[in-house]
Chain A
Amino acid sequence: NAGVMQNPRHLVRRRGQEARLRCSPMKGHSHVYWYRQLPEEGLKFMVYLQKENIIDESGMPKERFSAEFPKEGPSILRIQQVVRGDSAAYFCASSPRSAQETQYFGPGTRLLVL
């Protein structure tokens, strides 16, 4: 009865490196969402994916950021050539069948770019 799982919980990268964040949705959930949260702020939507499809990526920067949710395995949020401004908490959420259903969140990955 596991909830949404994210790893790593903490990630430190130097400027210019790549960051890969993983999210395994709740069992039976086929919709995944990624959000970014800066300190003392709310959640900002980045991208919404179903298996093998990106449904809405309107909140994701056009450059350096990409996301996937393959048929097998976790969803991956990839940030290339990280910059200090990418430092934030990145949360993944999942819902069962549609975007209208309640989303359940993982514990987040805290990315620190040195």
Chain B
Amino acid sequence: TQLLEQSPQFLSIQEGENLTVYCNSSSVFSSLQWYRQEPGEGPVLLVTVVTGGEVKKLKRLTFQFGDARKDSSLHITAAQTGDTGLYLCAGNTGGFKTIFGAGTRLFVKA
């Protein structure tokens, strides 16, 4: 069974702090996505990574895809209250199904 494990499950930090969340698997992915979901809404795509070792930046967010394409991390610099949400990683191994991690719930306090 393919699994995507995300850690930590919950994270509560003060505004201005930095944080990193992780997405790990024993499977190799042809592509991996990070989404953010706010309460009452659908997941919104943040980034897609496809190349081992790839690093992508989106303002204060830095995404890294592991060299072996089995894991990924999301680093947020100087978190803001607007970053609060559920962060989901999703991976495709080249087949029909995209699998999702259970998510990291981030709460940024003012």
Residues of A at under 8 Å CB distance from B? 4, 6, 33, 35, 40-45, 48, 55-56, 58, 91, 99-100, 102-108, 110
Contact = CB atoms under 8 A, between A and B. Distances in A.
Interface in B1-54: 30-31, 33, 35, 40-45, 48
B12 to A, nearest CB: 15
Given A102-B33, A105-B35, A48 B96 contact: yes
Interface of B: 30-31, 33, 35, 40-45, 48, 88, 90, 92, 94-103, 105
Contacts of B102: 41-42
Nearest to A98: B96
Contacts of B48: 102
B43 A100 contact: no
Given A105-B44, A108-B42, A99 B33 contact: no
Contacts of B43: 43, 91, 105
Greatest chain B CB density within 10 A among A4, A104, A110 is at A104
A101 to B, nearest CB: 8
A107 B88 CA distance: 15
Nearest to A99: B96
Residue among B88, B92, B94, B95 having the largest count of chain A Cβ atoms under 10 Å: B92
A102 B42 contact: no
- Taking each of A6, A55, A102, A104, which has the highest tally of chain B beta carbons within 10 Å of its own beta carbon? A102
